[in-house]
Structures are given as C-alpha cells and as structure tokens.
A and B are shown apart, each in its own frame.
Chain A
C-alpha cells in the first residue's frame, strides 16, 4: 500500500502573527515557516504504519511555490520515501487543493490519504472532506487514534461530545488531530539522505486543474487590543463596576 500525506508550508506556530499595516494580509517577511503541525502528525502516523509493515511507500505532497520544497525536504528527512511538489501560488483555496490532490491520487493510486485536520494559517478544515467527496471514498476526520487491519481502518475521532470510534473501508481519507502522536525529531544524517531522495515537480497544468478563487479577501485586521483592566478591592466594588458598565 502507498500512503499519500499532504504537507503545507505555514508560518511557524511560535511566531507572533502580525497583519501588514495596509491590511493586505499577514506579514511573512523574515518570518519562520514550518510544516503545518497537523500535517507533521499525519506524516508521523504514515511512517509508523510503514514501519509496522502495513505500507510500502510514504509520499509527501505539497502545493505551493518553490519555497515549499524546504518543507518537503523536511518530510523526506523525517522518513518519507519521495515527494511531489505541485507548483502553484502559495495561497490556494481548499477546493483547488482537493482537486489537485485528486489528480495525484489518480496517478499514484494510494490506499490511504492522511491530511492534517486543518492548516493553522487559514484554519479552513475543508480539504480532507472535499477530497473524500471528489474521490467518492470514506472519510474519517479529527483522528486521535487509529489502527489498520486488512482493508479497514478503525479511527477514534475527537468530536464535540467526546470521542467517537468508527470503521472505514480503505482506501479512505483520514484527517488527523493533535493527540494522535508526537512527531519524531529528524536525525542529522537523515537530512543528508533526504537530499538524495526523489522530489518531483508537477504543475497545476500538468494535472489539468485550474485555480478557482471562490472567496475573495477584502481586508485583514488584528483583533482589537484589550483595554487595561482595573484592580477591584472587593466583591462589592466588582458588582458596582459591572453594573456601571451595563454588564450585569
């Protein structure tokens, strides 16, 4: 079985996000970029499945400009066997991404597609669901535990009410949540090995996918700054202040 893992280049989760002064987007000038943390978890899971002897090949796929090759190389250093970059502008919308993945699936015929439950930049959480629909295969989203047997995946999902365990037939799309695993560190010699692993570059044209931007971004604004608080002496003052401001 082949496993396809989606990888997105995003602003690192430690970086303080800043909106550009003209409101045209997030400032990424000189900012640290990383693999979307959920995608890293997806890749870790794929590697563990392969190491358990239940898959032969792990392929990492990213859509983006050439900068995303850095994240693909990190994926290869973690242990993926090969990488595919679909050359595209860095910001695409979920439907275009799902369509491109669909074309990669047609070429690679994987038995499992693992994706992050969302990317921490747009927080859309749509690609996995759309892809499953396009592919007409089962989906299991927000996986916090999973196991494979023959052609069935048993997946525990994090849902509002708690945990839900389902079985899906493979091939399937599974999107992963934070608690599924803790990704490994990259071993230094593996960085060197990763340089020699294949990284194929395709274009959206090669895949016959056109860019659709259904959503237009008008303006970005940071959340309002919190106003300075005051220290209240006692409960009575607290109640008085809340009343004063019409909050109770």
Chain B
C-alpha cells in the first residue's frame, strides 16, 4: 500500500490516554480536576464507551468515592449493594459451603456492570473537558527522534482484506502528546509492544492470566436474590487447574454468571468455554437458569500475575496503569478499584512532575502496591494444586503476606503438556441443554461485528507450525481455547496436509486468550478497524 502512504494528519494534546476503561477514565477526570487547562484525549476502540468491557463485577467503592465524591447520589445504571457472600466447593454432583475468606467478604461493596459504569463515567469526563473518541483504535505507537513515546497512531479505516484501500478509505491520524498513558486493560496490544521494546519486564516474573467467560441472564421471577454474591471452586476444573465461578444477583431478575480459568492449565484438550457451560449444568446451579433467557455474553482475559509479575510502569514518554500494568488483586478477584486508584495516581504524578519519570517508584510506594504485596503468594501457591494452594492462601492471609518469601510465576504459554504425556481426564461432563448450544450461538449474544473485508486482525506469524507441529504436539488447542470459535481446522484438498487453519476473525470478541495461550507464541492480536468487535450490553 506504499503508494497511498502520505504524511498523516496530526492532532496535538498534552496527554493522550489509550482505553476508556475505569483506569483511563479515572486518570482523565483527575487530570482535569487538577489542571483544567491540560488538553486530555481518550481513545477507545469500541464503538461506544463500555461496549468492549466485560467484568464481574463486584467493586470496592473507596477509590470512586475519592474520584467523584457525590457519585452515590447519581449512581451508575446497574448498581446493587452486596447483601451476602457465599463460597462453595463443588464436586460433579454435590455442593459444600466453605467459610468465606476475608479477601472475599464484600460488605460495603457494590455489584455493577463495569461496561455500564464506564458509559456512565464518560459523560462526566466530557463535562470536565476531556475529549473522548470512541470508535478509534490506537494501532501503533508514534516514537520521537529520541526514541521516546510521542503519541499514538490511529488505525486506517476502509482497507480491504488484502490491505488495499477501498472507496471509503480513510487514513488514520497521529495524535502527538508529551505523555501517553496506556490504559488498555489486560494484555494491551500497544502495552505488549512497549513492555518488550523497553524491556520493562526484565526484572519481573513472567505475567500470568486467566480467561473469564460471562453471561447476563434474565431469570424466572423470584429466583434472583438481589445483592447475593456466590463463588465456587472445584468442579468442573481438575485439581491442578486454578479457577472458579461467580454468580452475582442484580436487580430486575437479572443474574450475572461467569467462570474464570487460569491460562496455565496443562491439558491441551481442555476448553474453558465448555467448562463454563458445564458449571451452569451442575445440579445445584442449573435450576437458577432453567426457564430464563440470556441477555448478553462474552469473554475477556484477566491479569493474575500480581506484584511479582508487575513490569516497570514508566518509560520515556509513557506510563502503564490499571490492568495494562497488571494491578488486579486476584484473591479478591477485583481490579477495578486498583485501576481507578492507579489512574488517579498517574494523574497526580503527571500534574506534579509533567513527565513519566519516577512514576514506577511512586506506584510501588503507594497503597496500590501494598495491597498487591500482601497477597503475592496466594496465586503461585496454587501451582501445586488446589489443596496446597488453599493452605498457602490460609497461611498468607493469617500472616498478611508478612512471611519473608515470594513464590514465583511461570508463563502460561509454556504450561501445555504434549499429547503424548497427557492422560485423558474424566471430567464427568454432562450433556447440556441450557443456552447457548455452542460457541457460535454464544457469539450471537456478544453482538460482535467486524467488516469481513478488512485485513485479518489475528496474525499468525508462522502458519506452517499450526498444521504440522502444533497438530502433533497439542492437537490444535486454539480450536478449543478461543471462546468465540475463531480458529477452525478445516479440510482442504488444495493444501499439502489436506487441512488448513481457518480464521473466522469476524467472530472475535477481543478477549486476547489466543495471544496469551498459543504454545508457540505465534498468534499476534492486532487492532481491527476502529469500532469493530463486540457490542456488550451491561457486561
């Protein structure tokens, strides 16, 4: 496409924030509160703010109180105070209640839709003078001559599958700013490039992740108990896989149900989507959903590495905040309060210092980090299985993380076992009859949309490996770990091996599982045309 490349149009701002999630919006609002004259822009790849956000979500309100003291008088549209917590251990046929660990006590917290919360925050940011641009993906970094981050490049629009401009072609612009804040959430596409370019993770453990799949249900009248927060561990996961379920009871007979599986699972035949659907069919769970209807659904990865895996969060001209940095508190399964807090902290730093320099130290000496440090050994404790993990969790909780030891994390993509070393695990999975029937049916509830005539945004760096090595070693795990059925192995007489990998990119819900879990690290998720992707409603 070289003949069409002309000088890009440029817009200038004082601060450009990538991602209108809780961290990005909190940073933008606090910046304008501190320095009303700063020009602040927020770029968001979803067509509307909140449409790519999927979370639980039970949130701790403290940081929101700090950001917007009057928010409780004008609450977001979905906001139910937590009434009661319940934690259970499941086997395939039974459910046993466990005492709720202190991290999971939710008194004073609220059940919200984080997508709806962000859509509610956005106009408040605009009211203080922030420019928000939904429908535009930041596809690249603009570097200054000194090799510092100098802003972002917005993706071109109207490019066909082969990279040629269509009639509607519109060249993306550059947004230049002395400071760029990466608030892309878990496994950010630009954050990943920057972490690697500036070797920000040189001194930290590899990052680790989970994938969360969620549905919002309208259940039969009388079944929903507003304010009830339920979690489970155990079945349908085997004891060596970390994860569990959540069921949050909202208002108006709406119930959010989801399942999070750590992406360091080892069985190549495992399917996180199937595990979630199986969970819904547990004899103690299924009655809640029978007769109900799915309102919306989708998937998103969750960052689990905590303090050991936290990369350096500043670099020349840019900072990382929220889940783009990796600040989620896993034992609490909460990242929103940390995202908002880190966004505000970044704003204070920028307003004070006017540069990224020193933000890493500021964050590490803040309450954000203190909270992560306390729980640092809980997640890696589960690397030795469920029971030993629970014991570690107990010890670390009682001692508030004060024991002078730090357990380590390993990379998720290296954890799959070869087919030849894998025994088939009997998971006691049942025949399902609740919706959705399969992943294609489930994508429908994500209302995901990509123009088919655009470059495939899932780049396979070495396609040969897929057909040969990966088939033999792992039997194409991408066809199972993707919750949206994007990857399919199809027969093809023209191909040498008689099969080929088909990528149904239009189904992608931007969860980023493939970018993380693919065992050879040859799948690269890049931003599709701005405005493409899921259109989540109240997730």
List residues of chain A with CB under 8 Å of any chain B CB: 12, 14-16, 18, 21, 29-32, 182-189, 191-192
Contacts and interface: CB of A to CB of B under 8 A. Distances in A.
A30 B535 contact: no
Contact of B133 (A184, A185, A188): A188
B442 interface: no
Interface string B507-539: 000000000000000000000000000010110
A61 B51 CA distance: 27
A14 B131 contact: no
B167 interface: yes
A40 B131 CA distance: 24
Contacts, number: 56
B170 A189 contact: no
Top-3 shortest CB links A-B: A30-B538, A185-B157, A185-B170
B535 A14 contact: yes
Contact of A30 (B119, B444, B449): B119
B445 A189 contact: no
Contacts of A21: 218, 253
Interface in B11-56: 11, 47-48, 51
Contacts of A30: 77-78, 113, 115-116, 119, 537-538
Interface in B36-89: 47-48, 51, 77-78
B158 A29 contact: no
B295 interface: yes
Contacts of A185: 157-158, 168, 170
Contact of A189 (B11, B51, B77, B167): B11
Given A14-B447, A182-B168, A188 B136 contact: yes
B421 interface: no
B237 to A, nearest CB: 31
Interface residues of B, number: 33
* Chain A at the B interface: SS class: loop
Contacts of A187: 9, 170, 173
Residue from the set A30, A183, A185, A192 with the largest chain B CB neighbour count within 10 Å: A30
A205 to B, nearest CB: 28
Nearest to A182: B168
B121 interface: no
Contacts of B48: 32
B186 interface: no
Given A30-B119, A189-B9, A189-B11, 18 more contacts: A12-B535, A14-B447, A16-B445, A16-B447, A21-B253, A29-B537, A30-B116, A32-B47, A32-B51, A32-B535, A182-B168, A184-B168, A185-B170, A186-B135, A187-B9, A188-B154, A188-B173, A191-B133
A22 B154 CA distance: 44
Contact of A29 (B51, B77, B444, B449): B77
A16 B168 contact: no
Interface string B351-373: 00000000000000000000000
Contacts of B135: 186
A14 B158 contact: no
Contacts of A182: 167-168
B11 A188 contact: yes
Contact of A15 (B11, B116, B535): B535
Contacts of A15: 447, 535, 537
A14 B167 CA distance: 23
A180 to B, nearest CB: 13
B233 to A, nearest CB: 31
B290 to A, nearest CB: 16
Nearest to B10: A189
A192 B131 contact: yes
Nearest to B536: A30
Contacts of B535: 12, 14-15, 32
Contacts of A32: 47-48, 51, 535, 537
A192 B11 CA distance: 10
A86 B158 CA distance: 34
A16 B119 contact: no
Contact of B295 (A18, A183, A189, A192): A18
B173 A189 contact: yes
B454 to A, nearest CB: 12
Contacts of B136: 188
Nearest to B158: A185
Nearest to A31: B537
Contacts of B253: 21
Nearest to B134: A191
15 contacts: A14-B447, A14-B449, A15-B535, A18-B295, A30-B538, A31-B537, A32-B535, A182-B167, A185-B157, A185-B158, A185-B168, A188-B154, A189-B9, A189-B173, A191-B133
Contacts of A31: 537
Contacts of A29: 77, 537-538
A185 B172 CA distance: 11
A16 B175 CA distance: 35
A30 B158 CA distance: 28
A48 B154 CA distance: 25
Contacts of B157: 185
A183 B168 CA distance: 8
Interface in B445-501: 445, 447, 449
Interface string B124-154: 0000000101011000000000000000001
Contacts of A186: 135
Contacts of B9: 187, 189
A235 B94 CA distance: 47
A12 B157 CA distance: 20
B115 to A, nearest CB: 8
Interface string B263-302: 0000000000000000000000000000000010000000
Interface string B241-268: 0000000000001000000000000000
Nearest to B446: A16
A16 B48 CA distance: 16
